[in-house]
Chain A
Amino acid sequence: MQQISSADPLLKVDNLVVEYPVGARTVHAVSGVSLEIARGETLGLVGESGCGKPTLGRAVLQLRKPVSGQVVFDGHDLTAMQGDTLRKMRRRVQLIFQDPIASLNPRRRIGDIIAEPLVISGVKDPEKRKRLVCDALTAVGLDPELVIGRLPHEFSGGQCQRICIARALVLNPDFIICDEPVSALDVSIRAQILNLLEEMKGRYGLTLLFIAHDLAVVKAVSDRVAVMYLGRLCEVGPSEQLFARPAHPYTALLIEAIPMPDPDVRPAESVAVGEPPSPIAPPSGCRFRTRCPRADQQCVTEMPELRRVATGQFAACHHPLI
């Protein structure tokens, strides 16, 4: 699995497997995913609900212990770490969630919410804490003086997402996992938050894993995109190239399904067939074969590995489109 390598990856995920028990059965949430994210890069991760995107994000942080596989962050194997050492490492990795209002404690003031990571990581001087909190709030475009003493319910969804971003930035992390950060927001606010993330990435020198189901949103922010289906990677490649010439039929299907804001583009009738099967009993061979127009006997018996289809572009398909 050495194909998708860059010279100096900040994060390296190797053959990661995450499973959840459901009664006597098992949900195969992530089944053997390998990927690398270079320093300063934004990797977009797309796929439909139930494909294991957030689980992958959580497994990177070791919030869910993987069954097997390795997560190497900046040269340190997180899967081998425990307790304090792991906690210290997590400071450098932050998370932003989908629902900004639900991820803020409704009874605590904004100033305390943003100072919390500092308290946990042992910044004892209250003056210093306050300064860092104010810096983070200013960076995300909020006026600290007006915001610090107020409670989350006094803010709109877009403002709450700004507060969440400020909380993620306050420890000056290297890496942020954004889990559907704009899907709960309105169109006009969504553009503001996407622009803010781009700006913060430049200012703080961040590396981002950007998880979303909306391809257009992912393309707007990502250098490379990874497409996931039922716990496996289908395709990885530079965003522009991947969208212009998708190799995996699933990537092509996702692109075709996007509604275009142009009445002259008639929606392609029934491009998408069926629904994703259950991750409890994924299909044999290629997991996408039950919905794939190109599937044949080989796809039933043999699991496709990620193979190079173009410069920097890899697809797991026996019958790629390119």
Chain B
Amino acid sequence: MTDRVLLSIENVAVDLPTPRGNLRAVDRVDLKVGAGRTLGIVGESGCGKTMLSRAILQLLPKKAKLSGRVMFDGQDLVSLDPEKLRKLRGRSLAVVFQDPMTSLNPVLTIGTQLIETLQEHLELDANSAKKRSVELLAAVGIPAPEQRLTQYPHQLSGGMRQRVAIAIALSCEPKLLIADEPTTALDVTIQAQILDLLAREQRRRHMAMILITHDLGVVAGRTDEVAVMYAGRVVERAPTPALFKKMRMPYTEALLAAIPKIDAAPHTLLPAISGRPPDPTRPIKGCSFSPRCRYAAGQCHTEKPPLAAAESPAHQYACFHPIEIAAGVPA
């Protein structure tokens, strides 16, 4: 990775007070994203991946406590003053959420929402903002863009709405785009189109991207690096090809094995992960995955394994009993 580091998350933790006690949603996470690179963050619901993205954007719930540093383009977002932060978000730091219906304003037209963003951040006049909006909608593959400007979100299909949300996110040429489960609500053929669109625009704009998903299949062909999260921590982190060639963390292996394979025979029993993720308000002593892990032994139940590099500095995992054999794609 020769690219300059654009985003550096350093020792970030997020605590949420709940009636049942403190909930540690994100637990001391360190991650880096280089300019123009793509980082995939994979994990199941409740593993802290969305909270981590909110921590980067400084959009955490009011009650949440954040510690650590989020360095973006040379500035620490955690201590940045709100006015500067507001200028940064939407401009060089953009986001696309899972549900385009809730991220678009239902009572404003597509045009109003796009033009508003352009005028706010780029100080364009009304005419050039409108012209720019049409270009953006065309770029994200929306047919008849002029007519769409006067339409409301409910008049578009889910896939089209997500394209509009992407157009708004891309409108100010961001340096980093955070895509939080951008295709989870969409059909499989539309998912492929949206992921293609994101990859194309990313290459064209040399934009960095964080792709958050629960689907290892989505990150496999479309990211440079993957971080797997479990119970608020990053448990394995590696360049994408290295991860799929040789996964070391049993959770990553189990997650991949649990996905039904298209080339497996029907009625094959799936290697399911027993149990379910731990209650985040009751932290587990030792490795959080140990109650569900088939390799867990003595030390795993008493001590937290650190996230450390082994054979190569780029491949890190938090496990006392890493998998030795080549896993991932079945031979």
Contacts and interface: CB of A to CB of B under 8 A. Distances in A.
- Asked if A and B bind, the verdict is yes
Interface of A: 48-49, 156, 158, 186-192, 194-195, 198, 213-217, 219-223, 239-240, 243, 253-272, 275
Contacts of A268: 192
Interface of B: 44-45, 157-160, 187-193, 195-196, 214-218, 220-222, 240-241, 244, 254-256, 258-274, 276, 328-329
A217 B188 CA distance: 13
B229 to A, nearest CB: 13
Contact of B267 (A48, A213, A221): A221
A67 B189 CA distance: 30
Contact of B187 (A213, A256, A261, A266): A213
A259 B221 contact: yes
A239 B44 CA distance: 29
A257 B189 contact: yes
Q: Could you say which of A191, A214, A271 has the most chain B C-beta atoms within 10 Å of its C-beta? A: A191
B160 A275 contact: yes
Contacts of A213: 187-188
B191 A263 contact: no
A263 B240 contact: yes
Given A158-B276, A191-B272, A215-B188, A263 B260 contact: no
A267 B189 contact: no
B189 A48 contact: yes
B222 A220 contact: no
B220 A263 contact: yes
Nearest to B263: A243
Contacts of A191: 258-260, 270-273
Nearest to B42: A187
Given A194-B260, A256-B192, 18 more contacts: A186-B44, A186-B45, A188-B255, A189-B44, A189-B276, A194-B270, A220-B266, A223-B267, A240-B265, A259-B220, A259-B221, A260-B221, A260-B262, A261-B220, A263-B240, A267-B222, A269-B196, A275-B190
**Which 3 A-B residue pairs are closest in the complex by CB-CB distance?**
A259-B217, A191-B272, A272-B189
A132 B258 CA distance: 32
B294 to A, nearest CB: 13
Contacts of A258: 188, 217, 262
Given A48-B188, A186-B214, A216 B260 contact: yes
A311 B241 CA distance: 40
Contact of A261 (B188, B190, B259): B259
B259 A216 contact: yes
A195 B272 contact: yes
B262 A275 contact: no
A239 B259 CA distance: 17
B188 A49 contact: no
